Structure 1
């Protein structure tokens, strides 16, 4: 990478469905290219599987420097509560071990963990569909000027791709105040992983 050359050429955001099954209408993938062009939905009418998406992600990573972001919680908040699952015994204290713990307790197909969430109830919140063009312009992006209303998953992916592109311009995004090695190993809330 030369001085002045961007570290990433592509910024891909993935709204990862927590649904059960092999294919998921809730998965949406958006890409923002370097610059200010509007992000675009990748294969907008396609119904992805998570394993298929994982294969696509690896291929994209081979093609060019890409910053990937996922709209899902890599783990419950740790720092605020002092544990992933407060009050439960034998729960790991770092993200990799926690996901092995989740995988071991989930028999869902296609990289799913819904059965774990059902067994260990944790509330999830949905805040509504964003005004995508206004959000994109607020992030320095051209508006998407979509012809139809996006799903909540598509709007999440579009805005996240543009947001990652904007964050990547500022090196402090990757070294926020208060970040310690311990927090980096344990925290995994949505947008907590860059």
Structure 2
């Protein structure tokens, strides 16, 4: 988990989506280079598929920091297992990604419906239609160690086992695990992998962190006009984008977070947070920027 010296020459932020279907309007991809230039959307106006995002990451050979707005794993350290009582519960995150992939092999477009409906896995999820598994922890659900650290920072994370409501992140996380399964061994995924001397590195994002760093209140983290986005970019030392009118919050999240990643990529405490242990790095992962 040793941090290498700052070396990134490109920063890509990806707002992910857990929606069903071949293409997701909720996916947005933005990039920027060192300096103060405004981040720009990659393929603006394009409706991305998850497979296209995979291809984009795999084609990235430069020293690029790539942020994905999704949970790369599920809670483990609180119970010593992802799915207590299930004999197929994996021992680490890569095993979890492989399990989701195996069960969802026939689900198209990296969907994870078969995993959500699996009789053993479903016991741990809160699903639509009042279908809450008997092992789903009441309230917000079980949290990873990094999410408990987010709470200590004044944030309000939800469990990746929660699949209901506008604030849920579970669907994005499960579809993202199918992406990570395909990236595993081909691109460094921090902190499951150490930061290599060269090449791209994938990290987990929480886009609200970028908005707060830009001076926005947690309750107003979403920006839906170019004026709001430009003010936030300026607060991070970035040139404004200069657009007019409205913008989707998916696009603004990606653009602002790319600028934030550029600004913070060399922070030692972001790469070596105090709560990150070897076990957590192997099983749960950690959100970049949570200390």
TM-score (norm 2): 0.56
Q: 1:188 aligns to what?
A: 285
How far apart, in 2, do the equivalents of 1:20 and 1:146 lie? 30
- How much has 1:81 moved relative to structure 2? 5.5
Name the SS of the counterpart of 1:102 in structure 2.
helix
Contact 2:271 2:288 in 1 (8 A): no
Structure 2 counterpart of 1:156, from 234, 247, 253: 253
- How much has 1:37 moved relative to structure 2? 1.6
- The superposition leaves residues 1-50 of structure 1 with CA deviations (integer Å, 9 ceiling, x where unpaired) of xxxx9511110011121112222221110002111222111111111111
- Aligned Cα RMSD in Å? 2.7
- The superposition leaves residues 122-180 of structure 1 with CA deviations (integer Å, 9 ceiling, x where unpaired) of 32516762343344334332333332322222122112212221221223321111322
How far apart, in 1, do the equivalents of 2:246 and 2:253 lie? 12
Residues 113, 136 of structure 1: alpha-carbon distance in 2 compared, 3 angstrom cutoff: farther
- The superposition leaves residues 98-131 of structure 1 with CA deviations (integer Å, 9 ceiling, x where unpaired) of 1111112223212222443465333251676234
Aligned length, in residue pairs? 187
Structure 2: tracts of 5 or more residues without a match: 126-160, 169-218
Contact 1:76 1:85 in 2 (8 A): no
Structure 2 counterpart of 1:92, from 90, 93, 97: 90
Deviates more, 1:34-43 or 1:167-176: 167-176
TM-score (norm 1): 0.81
Residues 78, 37 of structure 1: alpha-carbon distance in 2 compared, 3 angstrom cutoff: farther
Residues 94, 129 of structure 1: alpha-carbon distance in 2 compared, 3 angstrom cutoff: same
Contact 1:77 1:189 in 2 (8 A): no
Q: 2:270 aligns to what?
A: 173
Residues 177, 50 of structure 1: alpha-carbon distance in 2 compared, 3 angstrom cutoff: same
- How much has 1:80 moved relative to structure 2? 4.8
Structure 1 counterpart of 2:162, from 79, 102, 123: 123
How far apart, in 1, do the equivalents of 2:255 and 2:7 lie? 20
Q: 1:39 aligns to what?
A: 39
How far apart, in 1, do the equivalents of 2:239 and 2:76 lie? 36
How far apart, in 2, do the equivalents of 1:57 and 1:156 lie? 19
Structure of greater relative contact order (alpha carbons < 8 Å, 6+ residues apart): 1
Residues 1:30 and 2:30 are matched in the alignment: yes
Deviates more, 1:8-17 or 1:86-95: 86-95
